[in-house]
Amino acid sequence: MSFNDDWGASVDSQETQLASEIGKMGIKKEIKTEPSTNGSGPVQQKPTSPAKPTSAPPVQHGAQAGDSSQTEEDETELGKEDESLLRKLIHSKLIASKSDLDILQKDPNSPLFSVKSFEALNLKPELLKGVYAMGFNAPSKIQETALPTLLADPPVNMIAQSQSGTGKTAAFVLTMLSRVDTSQSYPQCLCLAPTFELALQIGEVVKSMSKYMSELRVLFAVRGEKIERGHKLDQHIIIGTPGTLMDWALKFKFFDLKRIKVFVLDEADVMIATQGHQDQSIRIQRGLGKDCQMLLFSATYVEDVMKFAQAVIPNKPIVIKLRREEESLENIKQYYIECSSKEEKFQAIANIYGAISIGQSMIFCATKKTAHWLTEKMSEDGHVVGLLTGDLMIEQRAAIIKRFREGKEKVLITTNVTARGIDIEQVTVVVNFDLPLTHDMKPDCETYIHRIGRTGRFGKNGLAINLIDGNRSYNTMRAIEKHFGRTIEKLDADDIDAIEKIST
């Protein structure tokens, strides 16, 4: 196998391979504290039943598609943690980031520098060997800047926005493995993830990268793990969810937070923006020692969350943030079609799919009811369709995504549960059956860019179609236009010649 020179690409390839196994992975209730054969800890496996295909419910008529926007709370609330896992599961290739980084640093006496090779980082020999064994030849763009800071002494705290596919998991795993002292038998690195599935994925990256660190021991702190009261953990790295980790550290005192050297909070926007996880994460963070290195990573940060993160992470953290230009619409053609009902919306889609060649496409609906209805209509029309909604189990969603990624379905109809993180090269068209709205019914520009951004990746041109069914959706579209400074052109769905031209 040949590898290119982008570390992030290799990371993403490796994580993708691991992600395909997530549906089969689980944690047994009995903890085994011995290291595995390669020393990376107790990654347990058990088979799960394959997901059954979902069928659409009986068609319910009468409401226009736009009338039901975000009235089903489970489709908006449920998505947070699930988006985090789906963001990991769905990857197929690196997001080739062209963006510059905004680096906000409060200490002018500690200038950032960058590296072009792993040798320049002065890694432990066994860790450097593990990095190369994974096929990583050189750091990608964001790691060139982040890694020297992450590995510097004295340790520096960091808040980093990093898109899925740039190898952020490997960046903080490398940091933990660099800091840990395997001759000391107590927890030294703590990594929080929103779900146990994501914790397992992080653990698999640790397992691969620590291949030659034979003394390393890793433990998962997730729901269902049982430890006898009074037991003191001797694993070096603990990876888990906030609730379980909080209980282990503060309630049962299985380990001492004051002795933690590196604290990683992955998917930080989910953690500190979600009630429950936010409080638990804060309580854990407050128990850490003053010399602990604290790292927050996230694919996205809204402004309020960024302010909170900077306030809660002490000691003048470095903040690395993708510039707004990264979230541009440079390679994406945007159109809108005026419709008077959901039936007209379906007919517009049928006309487009009949007139131009489409590799794979995603269609976003506001509610499960609309998504099920559209799935039935498109299936009747001969399309091979996958349906992804918030009422599916994680394993079912992973199976559907895997099938779509492999090209077994050409169309994926989904609600907001997958608005982020879907980076599939074959996706050439994104259709907004319903434009995204916030909880208070305002235009949701962030969700919009995450939706249609799926089709402009990897340097390829993308196509976004917005179906407009009334004044509210029209005004929403105009607000999105203004926000991004890009015109969304009108398209006549009955003009086959015009439709054919949009694909050129």
At 423 the three-state DSSP class reads: coil
Q: Do 301 and 415 belong to one domain?
A: no
- Taking Cα atoms as reference points, which of 380, 387, 377, 351 lies closest to residue 500? 351
* Residues 134, 3: Cα–Cα separation, whole Å: 10
Beta pairing, strands 360-364 & 237-240: unpaired
Give the residue numbers spanning the domain of 453: 327-502
In sequence order, what are the residues at sequence separation of 6 or more whose Cβ sits closer than 8 angstroms to the Cβ of residue 386? 400, 403, 404, 409, 411, 412, 413
- The confidence score (pLDDT) of residue 59 equals 30
The domain that contains 359 carries what CATH number? 3.40.50.300
Virtual torsion, Cα 212, 216, 221, 226, nearest 10 deg? 120
In a domain, 82, yes or no: no
pTM of the model: 0.59
Q: Do 288 and 399 belong to one domain?
A: no
273, 305, 322: which is the final residue of a domain? Answer: 322
Q: Give 10-residue mean pLDDT values along the chain (504 residues).
A: 41 44 37 34 34 35 38 46 58 44 47 70 92 81 81 91 70 95 97 84 91 96 88 97 95 97 88 78 93 87 73 83 58 93 95 88 93 95 89 77 86 74 70 92 87 69 92 95 92 91 80
* Residues 345, 466: Cα–Cα separation, whole Å: 10
322, 351, 370: which is the final residue of a domain? Answer: 322
Q: Do 447 and 361 belong to one domain?
A: yes
Helices (H) and strands (E) in the chain, counts: 17, 15
In a domain, 470, yes or no: yes
Helix axes 79-89, 196-209, angle to 10 degrees: 30
Q: Do 292 and 402 belong to one domain?
A: no
In a domain, 92, yes or no: no
In a domain, 63, yes or no: no
Q: Do 112 and 255 belong to one domain?
A: yes
Q: What are the backbone dihedrals phi and psi of residue 317, each rounded to the nearest 5 degrees, phi first?
A: -65, 150
Q: Do 241 and 289 belong to one domain?
A: yes
In a domain, 151, yes or no: yes
In a domain, 242, yes or no: yes
- What would the two tokens of residue 229 be? 């009261």
Q: What are the backbone dihedrals phi and psi of residue 331, each rounded to the nearest 5 degrees, phi first?
A: -100, 15
In a domain, 64, yes or no: no
Q: Do 204 and 352 belong to one domain?
A: no
Q: Do 419 and 333 belong to one domain?
A: yes
Which conformational region is residue 380 in: left (phi greater than 0), alpha (psi within -120 to 50 degrees), or beta? alpha
322, 342, 368: which is the final residue of a domain? Answer: 322
- As for how many domains the chain has, the answer is 2
* Residues 221, 27: Cα–Cα separation, whole Å: 10
Q: Do 243 and 367 belong to one domain?
A: no
In a domain, 49, yes or no: no
Q: Do 303 and 391 belong to one domain?
A: no
Q: Do 287 and 395 belong to one domain?
A: no
- The confidence score (pLDDT) of residue 109 equals 43
- Taking Cα atoms as reference points, which of 311, 424, 300, 312 lies closest to residue 360? 424
Q: Do 393 and 431 belong to one domain?
A: yes
